[in-house]
Amino acid sequence: MAAGSIVEPMHSATAADIAADEFSRVVTAHRPQIFRFLLASTRDVDLAETLTQECFLKAHRNWSSFRGDSSAMTWLMRIAINLQKDHWRNRRMRFWRTTRTNSVDLDEASEWLPSGESSAEQKMLAKEQVRHVWKAVEGLSERQRTVFLLRYVEERELSEIAATTGLSEGTVKAHLSRAVGRVRTELGRGK
């Protein structure tokens, strides 16, 4: 009895340490992707950072209930999507959505290009294409945008997108098709 009472707290402390270590590894591994997804969704660096922090805070609170049915990334992405939805639905934040004070405009967002060895002309062309895609993304519904970004920015498989969003694969495909159609139309306009 006495031995048990000494051993048990030590055992639980070790389990807590392991859980903390695991969670810290998950944060290190997935934080950049979550931030990237939220940045692409909001086009607002401050908001993306805030929502990323909230996402990991929420994940930390619920880490013990994470059973590993899906990958940690899918689980975190689901939290991030829900937080983003909550944010936009929040009445107080609706004003900010309409004014978009912190989100950068399409031109500014299109400025970001990888530092390759391409010519100035190629860079201009790439910038123009990126601007068209951003314009198309801006016109998508929330769900279409999420599916599109998960597919073409986060490179998630259709099954993963379905698991993350809670939609069926067929619905994901339909949303993707519409989103890609929009991008195609936008690019066609820019010809």
Partner 1 sequence: MSVWEKSGELPDDAHDELQSAGDDPILDLKLDEALRNFKLSVDAWSEAAYSTRRVVQSGPRRNWRRAAAWALGCALVASSVSGVVYQRHERQVAAKQAAVRLAEQQKRAADLQAASEEKLLASVDSDISQQIPSAMEPLAQMAEDDSK
Residues in contact with partner 1 by the rule CB under 8 A: 32, 35-36, 39-40, 45-46, 48-49, 102, 109-110, 112-115, 126, 129-130, 132-134, 151-153, 155, 158, 173, 176-177, 180-181, 183-184, 187-188
**Which residue, 66 or 154, has its beta carbon nearer to partner 1?**
154
Q: How far is the CB of 53 from partner 1 (least distance, A)?
A: 10
Q: What angle do CA 115, 118, 119 make, to 5 degrees?
A: 120
What's the min distance (Å) between Cβ of 137 and partner 1? 8
Least Å distance, CB 114 to partner 1, is 5
Let me know: does 79 contact 57? Beta carbons within 8 Å. Answer: no
Token look-up 């986060």 returns 154
The C-alpha atoms of residue 12 and residue 22 are separated, in whole angstroms, by 15
Please enumerate in sequence order all residues whose Cβ is within 8 A of that of 69, keeping only pairs 6 or more positions apart, or say none: none
Closest by Cα among 107, 90, 109, 110 to 42: 109
In whole angstroms, the minimum distance from the beta carbon of 93 to partner 1 comes to: 18
Residue nearer to partner 1 on the CB measure, 19 or 180: 180
